Chain A
């Protein structure tokens, strides 16, 4: 697609990289450029308020692309948890409801049921939001076989509140509440939510993805689309866990953070599809 770009500088949402601009070469002459990469249609043209290197923004981009490709924008209602992972809900051009900490699955249930199953309802939740304060809510929503989708942002810690331990924090990982590194005695073990929920009857689709390379991003996009499709087909709950970099919690640069996900998180949290059925008895 060729589009004429004749005003403004457009930047890539999270890196700030210039993706298109009006370049004035010979005084008034405008150069025509082909846009090969821009924001999804269903994302507002707003700056994000996330840290440099935060991958939560990328997760929303992914959701945005999936919504555009499935052409479901007008039917979607998003439910944000409480944490940095919820910030992107402001970016999506869809109706949205912000839940209290941990309560997104039942807020989504209330929405979906009150509208007689019509809208496509998804939650975006963090590992503190979902796996700590909201674990019971999550498990019960899956157990009820709700036709909902959850995007689970696993950044191995609490980003918003300053980098404390989450249930997903790795063993020996240093956080502000595990200054000596997370020890199993007293602090427990990293929890594998995608695998755990895959054991449940009400679950239609459960997978884990990462965003450590363009190939992984494309894989994650495909997975999120499949998850939405499961809901559209009315199969059951669909769940995608996405490993996400949080440089402040990891105490690393953005690039080192991605490398740490590859070297440490992937070992603890293998990628893959843990459940995928087309029918629940």
Chain B
């Protein structure tokens, strides 16, 4: 049994990274993820790590690029509008096949938006806000413990595929406190980083990032290899969790804090006899299309709960292929019309009942 703490989701990001052996963090303050920056500022010097408070998110992500190109584990974090600034370099790291971990603690948008919670980054994170054909792996935790675990998994996946991995949190998850049990997860062996640029030293060949010879000669090869990698990830890394979908008449699809709210809805409605289930995507890319598609043969309706005007809902519609109704309960269902509004379990329950009784 590991040590137990009562901490916030943002601090769990820090513990996850340290337990994954990450000793390099570069970050710029932005609400609601400042606790992540402050955690590393406090903890990394104690264990001989590197913390740099950068002058912008552009700098954070490009320092990360430099660091991971030397083969070390490193990460950065930001929130929505700051994350947008990182997109050029995330795309570039996908191009260079570099393992990097980036955390986005979502806040409201578009643009400067609000500092308070939202889930409006789904599209920019999963579809790639940067240029070119790239898909970062995206992991979506829904508790403090899961943040800690998925950060460790993120480092593993980044090293396994030499590819950027994004952990998508949000203001609610980042700010809430829960019990956390600390332990390190062993995911098994990883490929050697013999491509890292560390200074040529005694090595016979030089290492360049991106590989200079393919850079000049074989752009097509790079694209072909990226395509293969995306297929391999899609075949092997889809993760999701289902709750009571076996006998469900309708199924909620939600990730992150909305999944917490939806799970609470299930707990309230099941005793009342409502046959409602939940599919919670844990990887947003690759998306759990298959399980939703299979389920769509059995249920009549899906309800997507996400704190946005509807982004995740598009992937659900794609999976359902018109076999069942797909409904959205989004930001407009917040209990307050202000930026501090939230979608409450009560509202979700009402919507579920409404759909079950009328549609």
B58 vs chain A, min Cβ distance (A)? 7
Whether A93 lies near B200 (C-beta < 8 A) is yes
CB interface residues, B 27-70, toward A, < 8 Å: 50, 52, 54-56, 58-59, 62-70
Residue of A nearest to B66 (CB): A110
CA distance A270 to B209 in the complex (A): 36
Residues of A contacting B88 with CB < 8 Å? 100
Q: A110-B62, A111-B70 are in contact. Are A140 and B200 (CB under 8 A)?
A: no
Between A and B, 30 residue pairs with Cβ closer than 8 Å are A77-B70, A93-B200, A94-B206, A95-B206, A97-B65, A97-B208, A98-B209, A98-B210, A98-B212, A100-B65, A100-B88, A103-B59, A106-B62, A106-B63, A107-B65, A108-B66, A109-B52, A109-B63, A110-B64, A110-B65, A110-B68, A110-B69, A110-B70, A111-B66, A113-B67, A136-B55, A136-B56, A140-B55, A140-B59, A144-B52
Given A90-B216, A103-B62, 20 further pairs, Cβ under 8 A: A79-B66, A89-B208, A94-B199, A94-B200, A95-B207, A96-B206, A100-B89, A106-B62, A106-B66, A109-B63, A110-B24, A110-B69, A111-B66, A111-B69, A113-B24, A114-B67, A118-B199, A120-B199, A140-B59, A144-B52
Contact residues in A for B201 (Cβ distance below 8 Å): 74-75
**B56: min CB distance to chain A, Å:** 7
> Inside 8 A of B207's CB, which chain A residues have their CB?
95
| Interface size counted on chain A using CB atoms at 8 A | 34
A252 within 8 Å of B (CB atoms):
no
> B72: CB under 8 A from chain A?
yes
Q: B254 an interface residue at 8 Å Cβ cutoff?
A: no
* Contact in complex: A97, B89 (CB < 8 Å): no
A108→B197 CA distance, assembly (Å): 12
Q: Is the CB of B208 within 8 A of A103?
A: no
Instruction: List the 8 closest A-B pairs by CB distance, nearest first.
Output: A110-B66, A110-B63, A107-B66, A110-B67, A114-B67, A95-B197, A103-B62, A140-B55
Question: Is B202 interfacial (CB 8 A cutoff)?
Answer: yes
Q: Which residues of B contact A100 (CB under 8 A)?
A: 62, 65, 88-89, 92
Once bound together, how far apart are the Cα atoms of A140 and B54, in whole Å? 8
Give Cα distance in the complex from A96 to B200, angstroms.
9
Question: Do the beta carbons of A76 and B67 come within 8 Å of each other?
Answer: no
**Binary CB contact string for chain B from 218 to 233 against chain A (1 if under 8 A, 0 otherwise):** 0000000000000000
Using a CB–CB cutoff of 8 Å, the interface residues on chain A facing chain B are 73-77, 79, 89-90, 93-100, 103, 106-115, 118-120, 136-137, 140, 144
> B74 in the interface, Cβ–Cβ < 8 Å?
yes
Identify which of B66, B89, B200 contacts A114 (C-beta below 8 A).
B66
Q: Is B26's CB within 8 Å of the partner chain A? A: yes
The answer to whether B50 touches A99, judged by C-beta atoms less than 8 angstroms apart, is no
Chain B: number of interface residues, binned into ranges: 35 or more
Which residues in A have their C-beta under 8 angstroms from that of B55? 136-137, 140
Given contacts A93-B206, A95-B206, A114-B72, contact A107 B198 (CB under 8 A): no
A137 touches B197 (CB 8 A): no
Tell me whether A103 and B206 are in contact (CB under 8 A): no
> Given A95-B206, A108-B66, A140-B55, A114 and B74 touching (CB < 8 A)?
yes
Give, as a whole number of angstroms, the nearest-CB distance from A112 to chain B: 8
With a 10 A CB-CB cut-off, give which of B24, B52, B74 has the most chain A CB atoms: B52
Set A74, A103, A114: member contacting B199, Cβ < 8 A = A74
Q: Does the CB pair A96–B197 fall under 8 Å?
A: yes
Q: Name the A residues within 8 Å of B59 (CB-CB).
A: 103, 106, 137, 140
- B199 and A75 within 8 A (CB): yes
Tell me the nearest residue of chain B to A144, going by C-beta: B52
Which one of A93, A96, A108 has the greatest number of beta carbons of chain B within 10 Å? A96
Q: How far is the CA of A108 from the CA of B199 in the complex (A)?
A: 13
Collect the chain B residues with CB atoms within 8 Å of residue A75's CB. 199, 201
Q: What CA separation (Å) do A98 and B210 show in the bound complex?
A: 7
Which residue among A96, A97, A119 has the maximum number of chain B CB atoms within 10 Å of its CB? Answer: A97
Residue among A95, A111, A136, A140 making CB contact with B67, cutoff 8 Å: A111
Partner of B212, one of A90, A136, A140: A90
Residues of A within 8 Å of B89, CB to CB, are: 100, 103
Residues of A within 8 A of B66 (CB): 79, 97, 99, 106-112, 114
